[in-house]
């Protein structure tokens, strides 16, 4: 068993060794981060993990959940850091990855921040204003450090074929400073992104590991496996999915209500099989 674990550890490390591409073989600093032909082939053959097809009749229970990932929490720092400007490709924050994909045209559909059902698209002029202030005398880009949190829309469901409670991420929305009003310290919702549109991009970008540079996962793996801490701020309900702060005023009681909703989902699987 120990030999098997050691083999798997070596295999995983070898797969993610390109976290520091050519740093040991580089003759010049400019060669660091440049992929060899063999490495390019290995990366191209590494396919994104596809979602299994789910028949509606196999979903015996589900709940749409809205969460907020606070980037000031230490456990969520891999989504926030590193800072922009120090590295070209090998180290990027989640925001820089998303922003560059939008500006490069890899993401075409940018959805209205007020519509979490992804039925209303932003025009290019509108979402570019969210990325950087283009109305003032100079362009002020929204940096990674200006992003304070991410809102997530996902679904918890029970697949009766395997008898397991699972989570599927549906959408993500960054929240940051209002670049058209820098004197305002309040964070604003920027735009919704359909997560399946993001997956091919996030699959290619590795998350910086503060403990071990030779063993890293992609942003898609991090988000899909829920390697973050989040607070539930709304759940699907008959009141048009109203958020907690619309029916609970006290901030502390809002946290209590968030935990109550989380426990409803957490306890459902256990209650299902204990009855």
Cis before residue 111, ω within 30 degrees of 0? Answer: no
Give 254-267 pLDDT, tens digit per residue. Answer: 999 999 988 888 88
- From the CB of residue 48, how many other CB atoms can be counted at a distance below 10 Å? 13
Q: What is the pLDDT of residue 230?
A: 95
DSSP 8-state secondary structure symbol assigned to residue 67: E
Q: Is 240 left (phi over 0), alpha (psi -120 to 50) or beta?
A: left
Q: What is the pLDDT of residue 9?
A: 41
Q: Would the pTM of this model clear 0.85, i.e. be above it?
A: no
Domain ranges (residues) in the chain? 1-46, 57-274
Q: What is the pLDDT of residue 4?
A: 41
Task: Tell me the helix, strand and coil percentages in the chain, rounded to 5.
Answer: 40, 20, 40
Task: Say if residue 35 is exposed, middle or buried (CB neighbours under 10 Å; 0-12, 13-18, 19+).
Answer: middle
Segments of the chain with pLDDT less than 70: 1-24, 27, 30-46, 85-90, 133-138, 179-180, 182, 212-215, 273-275
């Amino acid at each position: 068993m120990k030999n098997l674990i050691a083999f798997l550890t070596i295999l995983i490390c070898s797969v993610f060794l390109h976290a520091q591409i050519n740093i040991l073989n580089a003759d010049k600093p400019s060669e660091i981060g440049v992929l060899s032909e063999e490495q390019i082939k290995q990366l191209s053959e590494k396919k994104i993990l596809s979602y299994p097809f789910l028949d509606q009749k196999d979903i015996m229970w589900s709940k749409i959940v809205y969460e907020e990932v606070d980037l000031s929490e230490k456990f969520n720092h891999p989504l926030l850091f590193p800072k922009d400007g120090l590295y070209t490709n090998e180290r990027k924050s989640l925001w820089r990855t998303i922003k560059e994909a939008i500006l490069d045209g890899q993401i075409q559909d940018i959805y209205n921040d007020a519509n979490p059902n992804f039925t209303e698209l932003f025009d290019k002029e509108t979402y570019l204003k969210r990325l950087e202030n283009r109305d003032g005398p100079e362009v002020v880009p929204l940096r990674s450090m200006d992003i304070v949190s991410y809102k997530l829309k996902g679904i918890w469901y029970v697949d009766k074929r395997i008898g397991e409670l699972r989570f599927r991420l549906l959408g993500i929305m960054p929240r940051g400073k209002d670049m058209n009003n820098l004197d305002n310290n309040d964070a604003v919702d920027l735009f919704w992104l359909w997560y399946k549109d993001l997956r091919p991009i996030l699959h290619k970008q590795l998350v910086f590991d503060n403990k071990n540079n030779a063993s890293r996962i992609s942003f898609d793996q991090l988000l899909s496996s829920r390697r973050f801490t989040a607070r539930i701020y709304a759940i699907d309900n008959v009141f048009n999915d109203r958020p907690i702060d619309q029916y609970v005023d006290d901030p502390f009681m809002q946290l209590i209500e968030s935990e109550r909703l989380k426990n409803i989902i957490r306890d459902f699987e256990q209650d299902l099989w204990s009855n």
